């Protein structure tokens, strides 16, 4: 049996499905990179796939090259730099997504469309992806709330992006004040070479049952959202490992007590 090979259809189909899978994976793993990078990596992998299909006569060898060379290369290209666990999760999620989308397109094309309107069936693959992304983002809005925070300490003012986290219940046992977590990098910018009154506070969290944090008190922090602002003076901050904030859009994790200070119900705080 002979088949006609259309390189343009092959390229566009693979490019389209690869891009959808990459973008969806980046949203799920919260590993957002530039959109242009996703487009380029998807295009390059699709071009390489076309070339390999034309050059390699053994179909099994072609599949091995795609699964173990081209696709892993696309994952690395899209998410570099990242940890090994991120690469592994991204690879698994992308494969699952591509199989699901590819199977959906084939089912629509052969069952619903009766072997016609392939382009329409291909475009329709974006619908469940867009719906899923909308639901995912709406759910995250209810859990992750971001604020602009100004920290004032020893004459210095530093603006950072902060996450409001209802799971942060840490209290400084020495001064009985809630503790807000900052990245080690922000801590160094605040402290520099000056001496600060540092105290060690034990904590427990997922993945670390018995940990110690370096805690210090700043003059005040100002939390801003919309046209409103609240001031906490003094405020207690703790320096955490930068890995906690790696590839995140925030450098600070606010204590859940912030919700009460704002005078709102917890579920109404997100903006």
Per-residue pLDDT tens digits for 96-136: 998 899 888 988 888 888 888 888 988 998 999 999 998 88
State residue 76's pLDDT score: 92
User: Which of 269, 198, 204, 270 has the alpha carbon at shortest distance from 237?
Assistant: 198
State residue 265's pLDDT score: 47
One domain for residues 41 and 131: yes
d(CA 3, CA 46): 20
State residue 240's pLDDT score: 87
What is the domain extent for residue 200? Answer: 144-268
State residue 30's pLDDT score: 77
Both tokens of 187, joined, read 């801590």
One domain for residues 151 and 261: yes
State residue 267's pLDDT score: 40
The answer to whether residues 31 and 248 touch, using CB atoms and an 8 Å cutoff, is no
Element at 190 (helix H, strand E)? helix 184-191
One domain for residues 209 and 259: yes
| Strand-pair category, 252-254 with 177-183 | antiparallel
Q: Decide: helix, strand or coil at residue 81.
A: coil
State residue 224's pLDDT score: 85
Whether 1 is covered by a domain: the verdict is: no
Last residue of a domain, one of 141, 156, 190: 141
One domain for residues 202 and 111: no
Whether 35 is covered by a domain: the verdict is: yes
For residue 234, whether the previous peptide bond is cis, meaning omega lies within 30 degrees of 0, is yes
One domain for residues 196 and 263: yes
State residue 2's pLDDT score: 58
Pick out the chain residues at pLDDT < 50.
Answer: 1, 206-207, 264-271
Last residue of a domain, one of 107, 126, 141: 141
State residue 145's pLDDT score: 74
Alpha-carbon torsion 246, 164, 24, 33, what sign? negative
Task: Mark residue 212 as left, alpha or beta (left: phi above 0; alpha: psi -120 to 50; beta: remaining).
Answer: beta
Whether 2 is covered by a domain: the verdict is: no
């Amino acid at each position: 049996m002979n088949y006609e090979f259309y390189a343009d259809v092959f390229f566009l189909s693979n490019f389209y499905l690869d891009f959808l899978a990459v973008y969806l994976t980046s949203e799920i793993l919260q590993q957002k990179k530039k959109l242009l990078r996703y487009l380029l990596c998807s295009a390059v992998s699709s071009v390489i796939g076309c070339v390999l299909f034309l050059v390699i006569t053994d179909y099994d060898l072609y599949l091995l090259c795609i699964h173990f060379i081209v696709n892993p290369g696309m994952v690395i290209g899209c998410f570099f730099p990242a940890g090994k666990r991120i690469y592994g999760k991204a690879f698994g999620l992308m494969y699952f997504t591509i199989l699901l989308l590819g199977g959906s397109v084939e089912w629509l094309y052969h069952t619903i469309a009766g072997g016609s309107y392939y382009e329409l069936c291909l475009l329709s693959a974006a619908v469940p992806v867009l719906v899923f992304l909308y639901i995912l983002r709406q759910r995250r809005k209810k859990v992750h709330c971001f604020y602009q925070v100004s920290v004032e300490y020893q004459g210095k003012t530093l603006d950072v992006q902060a996450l409001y986290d209802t799971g942060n219940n840490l209290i400084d046992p020495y001064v009985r004040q809630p503790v807000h977590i900052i990245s080690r990098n922000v801590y160094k910018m605040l402290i520099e070479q000056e001496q600060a009154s540092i105290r060690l506070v034990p904590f427990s969290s997922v993945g670390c049952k018995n940990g110690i944090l370096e805690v210090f008190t700043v003059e005040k922090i100002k939390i801003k959202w919309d046209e409103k602002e609240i001031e906490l003076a003094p405020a207690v901050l703790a320096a955490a490992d930068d890995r906690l904030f790696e590839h995140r859009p925030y450098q600070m994790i606010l204590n859940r007590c912030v919700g009460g200070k704002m005078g709102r119900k917890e579920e109404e705080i997100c903006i």
